[in-house]
Structure 1
């Protein structure tokens, strides 16, 4: 099946979609460094990306009409910038907000489905009306805003359309879901909202994949069965201190109905298994695996514990809040994750090379969608599309 990738970054979402069986007709990203990452991997023969058509530039500059009728899936993670409630005219459509651009692509291409990913901050109460606007615009991509129209007025028109029984517009069934990547086997606590839509003629019967991993299962494997420590060959003296009150929690977990149905959350230690310690010169068999000096711990900046999933990797390099880009060892010492270690936390393959300096590569990884989570999501959409008896919808009239 064919797809297009918007705001592609280092390629996490597109790689996951590729593993799910989608082939991008075009991969669009404005950032040169991210495009160089994809091109470098294509040049080295990385199978999933070797035939990608990389477009370095603004998604609004692409002739999307030329892809109409040829695309099953649109994927992308639009950057969502702050907006002003008091702004006039197209405040929600200013140049910093790419959701309108994503809607325009859907309107032009009319794909059978789309997957858009963004930070969970989008779902905060402060953005409730704007979030509703995004969902309704994706539901009715042909109901565009008028020149000079306030976005709240556009929202009112969309709400009226959603409660009307007489519309003939192109329509999508839109389903947003807030997920934690750790619940799907990603060794990182990364909360994101996925907005998935199916064109209304697609009989999808789709729901977001159920979680497969849990904190409770991890705690059982660490502090009840000991399987976690045995698997890593960690003797008792080298283990972290047992958490306070863990016996009471373990007993509660054991009594729960779901105690044996989930796999353990994957930890930093799990993710880095088989990697040697990074060296200053980066020598060794692994790509992008060199030591970055300068990490230090202080209150509020303590790094990711070795035996839990990592904190959310951030696009910043040094000094990001909480020390998300640092690892904290059992003895309390800290160091920065190497690029390769960070790529493991984002479930990129070891043979996928990140282009640029440590700080540049960390920026790309901090902005990326975990490949495994993208694969799981795209695979579920692929299965729904394969199972549906949908036919390509005819071109519909544009809304006035």
Structure 2
């Protein structure tokens, strides 16, 4: 009797995500080819947004295994040997310029949970994101503490012995400079502040990203190079006029700031490059009708929100530039935030759908909750396109490090 033959097939690389929010980072990672084995989020509105899209069989999130609840009680050991990537954006409020700046003293500082997930799941790589404010001088020591914890996740803080975080930092520094640094679970970590506008997102959004590869993975990785630039946009607006012609904007409505115009006049002295123009709000929403208080039958979440105001420091985003960073707001969206400014001086709030486009969410992705709640979800999100670019690069290098077979063999 002959043996029954078995056929091995290659399954997709797997990932889990912490602090998923409305799903921007996770969607980018899924689009890069990773299969989600766990999506962790405690906020009920964000969970409702994900569930609502799952119920409509959204192609990206329909099969996400959503795990609502406090990440502090999650068991990540069950993923050991099963995943290639851990990702997430720990709550940014402790370090945000618009927050209370409590840093490590803030109960919402969940970086220790991100480190625990890496320690227990032992992924081949990780991607974490946070606000640029984390890189401020005031948090410099704690920033280094985060990097070293991610580098050596098994060197845990001895809380039962009363070890303080700065004492733990000293022990990590000692290990990092010793000959023992290559022993045990360790990661090679790089970080960089990225502006989403430089990667084809119609929003000037600066965030710090941490990417790490496990020490047994031979990935010579660097952050993807920018694909878009302000200079390329100014060339189209000031030198060639192609931008205005594409959008059929009359000369009288072609508003450019004095600062941008001065920069544009210098471009003839600078060498051209291969970058594409920054995308503007007009680029993002030109094919949509203006929102009305009655909403739209064609576009989800496209309703006019009244009450926009303009005051010093909160003057809205000119329509012919990338938007300013979308804000979440601790107590809802402030009056002058998340507004679009038109050449005639008029302004209004961006609709949820317009804001979703500025974060590169697909039009068929619906947001659950009131206007202020959905804008909070969007203000906290990672632009889908930027997440896709970074995750695709990480996946490519993981594949190269394993001879092209990043996934696992399933029989």
Instruction: Indicate the residue corresponding to 1:161 in structure 2.
Output: 175
* Contact 2:333-2:376 within 8 A present in 1 as well: no
Task: Specify the SS of the correspondent of 1:173.
Answer: strand
Residues 368 and 161 of structure 1, relative CA distance in 2, 3 Å threshold: same
Provide the rounded CA distance (Å) in 2 between the counterparts of 1:363 and 1:152. 33
1:244: Cα distance to partner? 3.4
Match among 369, 384, 387 for residue 400 of structure 2 = 387
Q: CA offsets per residue over residues 251-302 of structure 1, 9 Å max, x none?
A: 4322222x23211110010111211111111133000000101112122221
Instruction: Indicate the residue corresponding to 1:3 in structure 2.
Output: 15
* Contact 1:278-1:338 within 8 A present in 2 as well: yes
Provide the rounded CA distance (Å) in 2 between the counterparts of 1:245 and 1:382. 40
* Contact 1:187-1:265 within 8 A present in 2 as well: yes
1:64: Cα distance to partner? 1.0
Provide the rounded CA distance (Å) in 2 between the counterparts of 1:106 and 1:186. 29
Task: Specify the SS of the correspondent of 1:335.
Answer: strand
Work out whether 1:193 is the aligned partner of 2:205.
no
Task: Specify the SS of the correspondent of 2:77.
Answer: helix
Instruction: Indicate the residue corresponding to 2:49 in structure 1.
Output: 37
Aligned ranges 1:1-400 → 2 under 5 Å: 1-82=13-94, 92=104, 95-147=107-159, 148-167=162-181, 168-240=183-255, 242-244=256-258, 249-257=263-271, 259-316=272-329, 320=334, 323-389=336-402
* Contact 1:2-1:24 within 8 A present in 2 as well: yes
Q: CA offsets per residue over residues 74-124 of structure 1, 9 Å max, x none?
A: 0100014549xxxxxxx9487421100000000000000000000010000
Residues 82 and 354 of structure 1, relative CA distance in 2, 3 Å threshold: closer
Residues 124 and 247 of structure 1, relative CA distance in 2, 3 Å threshold: closer
Provide the rounded CA distance (Å) in 2 between the counterparts of 1:50 and 1:235. 44
1:318: Cα distance to partner? 5.6
1:205: Cα distance to partner? 1.0
**Structure 1 stretches lacking a partner, 5+ long:** 84-90, 393-400
Task: Specify the SS of the correspondent of 1:178.
Answer: strand
1:60: Cα distance to partner? 1.8
Q: CA offsets per residue over residues 180-210 of structure 1, 9 Å max, x none?
A: 0001010000000000000001111110000
- Off by >6 Å, runs of 4+ in structure 1: none
Q: CA offsets per residue over residues 9-34 of structure 1, 9 Å max, x none?
A: 00000000011001110100000000
* Contact 2:333-2:375 within 8 A present in 1 as well: no
Task: Specify the SS of the correspondent of 1:224.
Answer: helix
Provide the rounded CA distance (Å) in 1 between the counterparts of 2:62 and 2:293. 31
Residues 283 and 42 of structure 1, relative CA distance in 2, 3 Å threshold: same
Residues 80 and 363 of structure 1, relative CA distance in 2, 3 Å threshold: closer
* Contact 2:332-2:376 within 8 A present in 1 as well: no
Task: Specify the SS of the correspondent of 1:261.
Answer: coil
Provide the rounded CA distance (Å) in 1 between the counterparts of 2:253 and 2:364. 32
**Structure 2 stretches lacking a partner, 5+ long:** 1-12, 96-102, 407-411
* Contact 1:310-1:324 within 8 A present in 2 as well: no
* Contact 1:18-1:48 within 8 A present in 2 as well: yes
Q: Aligned residues, how many?
A: 382
1:166: Cα distance to partner? 2.4
Task: Specify the SS of the correspondent of 2:179.
Answer: coil
* Contact 1:41-1:49 within 8 A present in 2 as well: yes
| Alignment root-mean-square deviation, CA | 1.8
1:375: Cα distance to partner? 0.3
Which range moved further: 34-43 or 161-170? 161-170
